[in-house]
Amino acid sequence: MTTQAPVRNAGPEEPTTAADDTTATDDPTAAVVPRAAAAGPARTWLRATGDAAWRLIGIAVVIGLVVYVISLVQIAFVAVYLALVLTAVLLPLGNLYDRALPRGLAMVASLLTLLAVVGGLAAYVVSTIAARSDDLTTQLTTGLDSLAGSLPFDVGTSEDWLVDGGAWFEENSGAVIDQALQGANLAATCATVIVLAMFLTVFFLTGGGAMWRWFIAQLPVRLQDRWEIAGRTGWRTFSGYTRGIAFVALADATMAGIFLTLMGNPLALPLTVVVFLAVFVPMVGPVAAIVISAVVTLATGDPTSAIIVAVGMTVIAQIDANVLQPLITGKQVNLHPVAMALAITCGTVLAGLLGAVISVPLTAVSWAVFSRLRRGGVASRADDDAVDGAGNEVAKDDAGAPAPTTDSAARAQ
C-alpha cells in the first residue's frame, strides 16, 4: 500500500530570497541583470534612440533660432564678424607698436596703418586704370572682336553689341533704374557695416580682454571656467585661421601679380586684388579667380595667352591648396574636406556669398570648442595657450598654468 505525501495547502506565495532560489548561482562575481535589460534589448535601444532624437531636435531648433535671429540683425552680425577679423589680423602689429607706444595708442596706430595700406592700394588701382582707360578700352574692344571672329558661329562685333545694349537699355530703363537704386542701397549698407566694424575694432583692440572678463563675471560661478575655456579655444582657432588665411591670400596675390605682370596683362593689379579676395572663399574662390583671370586675358589678349594664364593660375591654386593651406591653416581648421564642402554649401544656401565666407571659420570654431569641452574643462586647462579673449598674454601661476582671467572679487559677485 503506497503512502501518499501530504499535500501542502495553497496559500499566498511566499517571497523567495536569493538563498532559497534554486536557480541562484553560487558565483559571487555574477552580475545582477537590470530590470531595463530584462525587458528586452529592443526596448533599451528604442529608448536610447528616442532620447538621442529629442536631443538632436533640440539642437536643430536652437541652431535654427540662432540663424533666424542673425538674419534679423544681419548688418550688426557682419560688422561684429568683420571687427573680429580685423582684430585678429591687427593684434600682432599692435603688439609690435606696443614696444614703443602706450597700449591704446599702439592698437589705434595698427588700425590706421591698415587703412593707409588699403587706401593707398585702392588709390593706385583707380589711378592706374584711369590713366590707361583709353588703351584698355581699345585692347578690350580688339580682344572681344578677335574672340568673336574665332568662334564657329556669328555673334556680331563689339559695335553691334553696343547698339543692341543701347536698345535693350531703352526698353528696360525702368528695371535698370530699380537695379541702380538697389545697388545704391547696398552700397550705403556696406558703408554702414564698414564704419561700424571700424568703431568696434578700436574697442576690441584696446579693451577686448576687459570686455571678455566682464562678460565672464556676469555668469554663474559654476559656469565661468567652462565659458572661459570655450572662449579661449574659440578665439585661438578663429584668430589662427584668420591670420593664416590672410597670409595665404597675400602670398597668392603676390605670386599672381608677378605672373600676370610677366605675361603683360594690362589689368594685372586689379586681378591681383581679385585673387586676394577670392582666397577668403574656400574651395570656390580660387576657381572663380582662375576663370576671371582667363576671361579678362582672353578679352585683352589672344587665346594662347588666356590658356597660359589659366594654367599658371591653376598652378598657383594648387600651391595654395596643397602647400600653403595645410602648413598655415591646417592646424587651425581641423575639418575633413567633405565637412568643409558641406559647410560651404549650407552657408551659401542660407546666406549667399556671406554664408560661403563665414561657414568654414564658424564650423571650425564650433568643432574646436566642442572637442575641447568634451576632453574636460578645468582638468586640462594647462594645455591651452596662455592668451585671453583679446589675444593678450595671461599671467601664469607658479606651476606654469594659465591663471584665471576672472578675479576673486568678480566671482564673489
DSSP H or E stretch at residue 314 = helix 303-319
Q: Residue 259 corresponds to which cell in the numbers above?
A: 605672373
Answer whether residue 29 is part of any domain: no
* Residue 223 CB neighbour total at 10 angstroms: 11
Question: Pick from 67, 362, 84, 373: which is nearest to 227 by CA?
Answer: 373
Whether 7 shows a pLDDT value over 70: the answer reads no
pLDDT of residue 311: 92
pLDDT of residue 228: 92
Residue 90 near residue 201 (C-beta atoms within 8 A): yes
Claim to verify: residue 203 and residue 287 sit in the same structural domain: no
CA–CA separation, 217 and 215 (whole Å)? 5
DSSP H or E stretch at residue 345 = helix 337-374
* Residue 100 CB neighbour total at 10 angstroms: 9
Answer whether residue 111 is part of any domain: yes
Whether 57 shows a pLDDT value over 90: the answer reads yes
Answer whether residue 329 is part of any domain: yes
Looking at this protein, which amino acid is placed at residue 13?
E
Structural domain for 264, as ranges: 224-381
DSSP H or E stretch at residue 166 = helix 158-171
Claim to verify: residue 264 and residue 337 sit in the same structural domain: yes
Half-sphere exposure of 180 (CA within 13 A, CB side): 7
pLDDT of residue 393: 41
> Of 185 and 148, which is predicted with more confidence?
185
How large is the average pLDDT for residues 57-74?
Answer: 88
Claim to verify: residue 211 and residue 229 sit in the same structural domain: no
Looking at this protein, which amino acid is placed at residue 301?
G
pLDDT of residue 296: 80
pLDDT of residue 214: 93
Question: Pick from 194, 231, 196, 197: which is nearest to 211 by CA?
Answer: 231
pLDDT of residue 61: 92
Confidence of residue 258 (pLDDT cuts 50, 70, 90): very high
SS3 396: strand
pLDDT of residue 351: 82
pLDDT of residue 117: 87
pTM of the model: 0.70
Residue 111 near residue 82 (C-beta atoms within 8 A): no
CA–CA separation, 279 and 253 (whole Å)? 9
- Best mean pLDDT range from 200-204, 356-360, 381-385: 200-204
Answer whether residue 257 is part of any domain: yes
Least confident of 165-179, 313-327, 357-371: 165-179
Our measurement of the distance from residue 403's CA atom to the centroid of its chain's CA atoms, rounded to an integer in Å, reads 29
Answer whether residue 184 is part of any domain: yes
CA–CA separation, 164 and 180 (whole Å)? 20
Residue 219 near residue 371 (C-beta atoms within 8 A): no
Whether 98 shows a pLDDT value over 50: the answer reads yes
Claim to verify: residue 368 and residue 308 sit in the same structural domain: yes
Claim to verify: residue 208 and residue 347 sit in the same structural domain: no
CA–CA separation, 332 and 234 (whole Å)? 10
Confidence of residue 360 (pLDDT cuts 50, 70, 90): confident
Answer whether residue 129 is part of any domain: yes
Residues 210-228 have pLDDT tens digits of 899 999 999 999 889 999 9
Residue 389 near residue 407 (C-beta atoms within 8 A): no
Claim to verify: residue 285 and residue 353 sit in the same structural domain: yes
Claim to verify: residue 184 and residue 261 sit in the same structural domain: no
Answer whether residue 6 is part of any domain: no
pLDDT of residue 299: 72
Claim to verify: residue 152 and residue 277 sit in the same structural domain: no
Residues 273-313 have pLDDT tens digits of 888 888 887 777 888 888 888 888 877 767 788 889 889 99
Counting Cβ atoms within 10 Å, is residue 273 exposed (0-12), middle (13-18) or buried (19+)?
Answer: middle
Q: Residue 384 corresponds to which cell in the numbers above?
A: 591651452
Claim to verify: residue 213 and residue 330 sit in the same structural domain: no
Max intra-chain CA distance, the chain: 135
pLDDT of residue 41: 59
pLDDT of residue 397: 38
Claim to verify: residue 361 and residue 339 sit in the same structural domain: yes
Claim to verify: residue 199 and residue 300 sit in the same structural domain: no
How large is the average pLDDT for residues 330-348?
Answer: 79
How large is the average pLDDT for residues 315-327?
Answer: 84
How large is the average pLDDT for residues 192-199?
Answer: 91
Claim to verify: residue 79 and residue 200 sit in the same structural domain: yes
- List for the chain the helix, strand, coil content (%; round to 5): 75, 0, 25
How large is the average pLDDT for residues 316-321?
Answer: 86
How large is the average pLDDT for residues 96-103?
Answer: 86
Instruction: Read off the DSSP letter of residue 155.
Output: -
Confidence of residue 391 (pLDDT cuts 50, 70, 90): very low
Answer whether residue 350 is part of any domain: yes
Q: Which residues contact 144 (CB under 8 A, 6 or more apart)?
A: 158, 161, 299
Residue 364 near residue 332 (C-beta atoms within 8 A): yes
SS3 206: helix
> Of 63 and 195, which is predicted with more confidence?
195
CA–CA separation, 131 and 261 (whole Å)? 17
Confidence of residue 408 (pLDDT cuts 50, 70, 90): very low
Calculate the average pLDDT of the chain.
Answer: 76
Confidence of residue 161 (pLDDT cuts 50, 70, 90): low
How large is the average pLDDT for residues 109-120?
Answer: 88
**Any long-range contacts for 259-265 (C-beta under 8 Å, 24+ apart)?**
259/309, 259/312, 259/313, 259/316, 260/293, 260/309, 263/297, 263/305, 263/308, 263/309, 263/312, 264/301, 264/305, 265/296, 265/297, 265/300, 265/301, 265/305, 265/309
Task: Work out the percent of the chain whose per-residue pLDDT is above 90.
Answer: 14
Q: How many domains does the chain have?
A: 2
pLDDT of residue 387: 42
- Cell numbers 568673336 correspond to what residue? 148
